[in-house]
């Protein structure tokens, strides 16, 4: 299934289900990218990200990127592109007082290109509910622009909430006095986190993660724990277990196959860790769904 | 505003429910003027009366099954009270709050706020005759979808 919906205010939603596709380098408005099964890889400058169904990708206005799908199973992508005016108006309406909005009702200044931290965020909670509803409406109904814009307005509300949890609060966890140092460290830790999420099923080590973030191993270990409350290795294990839960719920792979897919060395260590973290075995977890 | 405790008591947990297309929801809220409330639900919210049921009429007044324009079926049980307070609170459940908010907005329903996020999910309040309604989409945040 494929659709593109362009609204009168230039917001745009597109979706496509493909096994193999390459989208050459291009520039877009601020966009939110999701994938509903399989994965899509993105090249943003020198960064290579793999997007899975439990994450969404936020790309800033003006960023140049390409993407690729190469899969045995059909991969369903959905992309939402926000017009600069819509984004700017949303931001003002949530950050200005009523008086300021009345004094200056029309404001054409765009949000700067690097305003948001361009990275992978968890795709769950309200963000997922709203995008799933929007997707369902666009696939099954013919919603008018007002309703689609209402969904998009709430996508931005949800995105700001996720941004606050994932960026602002994590930045506050860092024990540096200098604000610009905090910002720079968090940017580099984000690269480390992206690297773990994108390569969770490979045999990666601390040196690889540190190199991806342009940090020394010791600096990475100290700051990663401060920001995210767990070591890079613990974070990697969490990503692998979360992916296994997704596969247990949404696929028919055997547990041995899942162990291989998520990069564990043997089923027994996977089952032991899964049970320790979820108080239930993978087999019983699957039966509950 | 929805009383979350009341809602938790009256409704089974979302995670306990099976994914069925027809959802039965029992709403034992009180409505001051029953006929006004029923007329509002049927005429303004575009529900259709499916059937009336014979429950204990000493407790309930005319329990009925209603179907909304999305094909969802609810069972509405409104209890009449003697004192007839000015405003009662009725919760209308939905599986997509924004869709129904938009639909009712176009139909001329008077909303008292915009959809907002609470611990129970996404909800918005509107007025109908003497009653206050909450359109509620329950959401679970404990486990990924």
On whether any CB of chain B is under 8 Å from the CB of A137, the answer is yes
On whether any CB of chain B is under 8 Å from the CB of A126, the answer is yes
CB neighbours of A269 closer than 8 A, spacing ≥ 6? Answer: none
Q: How far B14 CA sits from the closest chain A CA (Å)?
A: 14
Interface contacts (A, B; CB < 8 Å)? 37
Q: Please name the residue of chain A whose CA is at the shortest distance from the CA of residue B100.
A: A147
What CATH code is assigned to B4-12+25-138? Answer: 3.10.180.10
Does residue A162 contact residue A58 with C-beta atoms inside 8 Å?
Answer: no
Domain residue ranges in chain A: 2-171, 174-229, 235-287
Taking 3-state DSSP, the helix, strand and coil percentages for chain B, each rounded to the nearest 5, stand at 20, 35, 45
Q: State ipTM.
A: 0.85
Q: B115 and A154: CB-CB below 8 Å?
A: yes
**pLDDT at site B50:** 65
pLDDT band at residue A234 under the 50/70/90 scheme: very high
**pLDDT at site B8:** 39
In chain A, residues with a C-beta closer than 8 Å to the C-beta of B139 are 125-126, 129
Three-state SS letters, B90-118 = EEEECCCHHHHHHHHHHCCCEECCCCEEE
Among A54, A143, A157, select the one facing B144 at the smallest CB separation: A54
pTM: 0.80
Chain segment B9-46, per-residue pLDDT in tens? 343 343 333 333 334 444 444 444 566 777 777 777 77
Q: Please name the residue of chain A whose CA is at the shortest distance from the CA of residue B96.
A: A133
Does residue A186 contact residue A225 with C-beta atoms inside 8 Å?
Answer: no
Domain residue ranges in chain B: 4-12+25-138
Q: B139 and A126: CB-CB below 8 Å?
A: yes
Can you read off the two tokens belonging to residue A48?
A: 């290579």
Range with lowest mean pLDDT among A14-28, A211-225, A260-274, B9-23: B9-23
Q: How far B35 CA sits from the closest chain A CA (Å)?
A: 32
On whether any CB of chain A is under 8 Å from the CB of B18, the answer is no
- Is the CATH number 2.60.120.810 carried by domain A2-171? yes
Give the C-alpha separation, B80 to A239, whole Å: 53
Q: Over range A19-29, report the average pLDDT.
A: 92
Q: A132 and B141: CB-CB below 8 Å?
A: no
Q: Residue A285, CB half-sphere, CA atoms under 13 Å: how many?
A: 21
On whether any CB of chain A is under 8 Å from the CB of B92, the answer is no
- Cβ neighbours, 10 Å, residue A79: 21
**pLDDT at site A236:** 95
Give the C-alpha separation, B87 to B82, whole Å: 13
On whether any CB of chain B is under 8 Å from the CB of A145, the answer is no
On whether any CB of chain A is under 8 Å from the CB of B141, the answer is yes
Chain segment A124-165, per-residue pLDDT in tens? 999 999 999 999 999 988 889 999 999 999 999 999 999 999
Q: Please name the residue of chain A whose CA is at the shortest distance from the CA of residue B101.
A: A147
Give the C-alpha separation, A231 to A214, whole Å: 17
The sign of the torsion formed by the CA atoms of B41, B122, B88, B55 equals: positive
In chain B, residues with a C-beta closer than 8 Å to the C-beta of A54 are 144
Task: Find, among A184, A214, A182, A208, the residue nearest to A196 by Cα.
Answer: A208
Chain segment B58-73, per-residue pLDDT in tens? 334 455 666 666 666 6
Interface test with B, best of A147, A149, A151 (most B CBs within 10 A): A147
DSSP letter, residue A113: T
CB neighbours of A262 closer than 8 A, spacing ≥ 6? Answer: A200, A201, A240, A243, A244, A247, A270
Chain segment A58-85, per-residue pLDDT in tens? 999 989 999 999 988 899 999 999 999 9
Can you read off the two tokens belonging to residue A198?
A: 């994108």
Rounded-to-10 torsion of CA A218, A222, A224, A227: -160
**pLDDT at site A176:** 76
What CATH code is assigned to A235-287? Answer: 1.10.10.60
Q: What is the mean pLDDT of chain A?
A: 90
Among B96, B117, B141, select the one facing A133 at the smallest CB separation: B96
Long-range CB pairs of A4-7, under 8 A, 24+ apart, other chains included: A5/A138, A5/A148, A7/A145, A7/A148, A7/A149
**pLDDT at site B1:** 34
Q: A124 and B96: CB-CB below 8 Å?
A: no
Q: Token match 């176009």: residue?
A: B106
């Amino acid at each position: 299934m494929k659709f593109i919906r362009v609204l009168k205010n230039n917001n745009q939603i597109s979706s496509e289900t493909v096994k193999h596709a390459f989208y050459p380098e291009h520039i877009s408005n601020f966009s939110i990218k999701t994938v509903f099964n399989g994965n899509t890889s993105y090249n943003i400058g020198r960064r290579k990200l793999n997007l899975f169904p439990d994450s969404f990708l936020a790309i800033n206005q003006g960023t140049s990127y390409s993407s690729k799908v190469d899969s045995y199973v059909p991969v369903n992508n959905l992309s939402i592109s926000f017009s600069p005016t819509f984004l700017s108006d949303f931001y003002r309406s949530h950050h200005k007082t009523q008086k300021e909005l009345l004094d200056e009702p029309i404001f054409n200044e765009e949000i700067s290109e690097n305003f948001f931290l361009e990275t992978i965020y968890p795709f769950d909670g309200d963000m997922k509910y709203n995008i799933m509803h929007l997707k369902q409406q666009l696939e099954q109904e013919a919603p008018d622009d007002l309703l689609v814009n209402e969904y998009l307005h709430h996508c931005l509300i949800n995105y700001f909430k996720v941004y606050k949890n994932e960026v602002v609060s994590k930045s506050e966890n860092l024990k540096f006095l200098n604000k610009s140092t905090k910002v720079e460290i968090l940017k580099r830790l984000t690269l480390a986190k992206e690297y773990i999420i994108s390569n969770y099923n490979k045999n990666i080590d601390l040196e690889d993660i540190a190199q991806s973030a342009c940090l020394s191993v010791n600096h990475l270990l100290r700051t990663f724990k401060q920001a995210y409350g767990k070591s890079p290795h613990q974070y990697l294990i969490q990503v692998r277990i979360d992916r296994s839960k997704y596969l247990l719920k949404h696929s028919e792979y055997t547990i041995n196959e899942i162990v291989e897919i998520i990069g564990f060395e043997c089923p027994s260590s996977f089952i032991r860790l899964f049970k320790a973290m979820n108080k239930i075995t993978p087999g019983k977890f699957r039966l509950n769904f | 505003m929805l009383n979350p405790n009341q809602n938790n008591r009256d409704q089974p947990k979302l995670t306990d429910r099976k994914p069925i297309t027809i959802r039965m929801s029992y709403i034992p809220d009180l409505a001051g003027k029953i006929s006004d409330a029923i007329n509002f639900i049927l005429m303004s919210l575009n529900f259709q009366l499916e059937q009336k049921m014979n429950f204990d009429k000493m407790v309930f007044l005319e329990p009925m099954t209603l179907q909304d324009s999305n094909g969802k079926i609810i069972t509405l049980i409104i209890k009449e009270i003697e004192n007839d307070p000015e405003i009662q609170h009725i919760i209308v459940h939905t599986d997509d709050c924004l869709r129904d908010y938009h639909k009712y907005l176009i139909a001329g329903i008077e909303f008292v706020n915009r959809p907002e996020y609470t611990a129970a999910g996404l909800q918005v309040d509107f007025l109908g005759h003497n009653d206050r309604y909450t359109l509620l989409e329950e959401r679970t945040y404990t486990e990924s979808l």
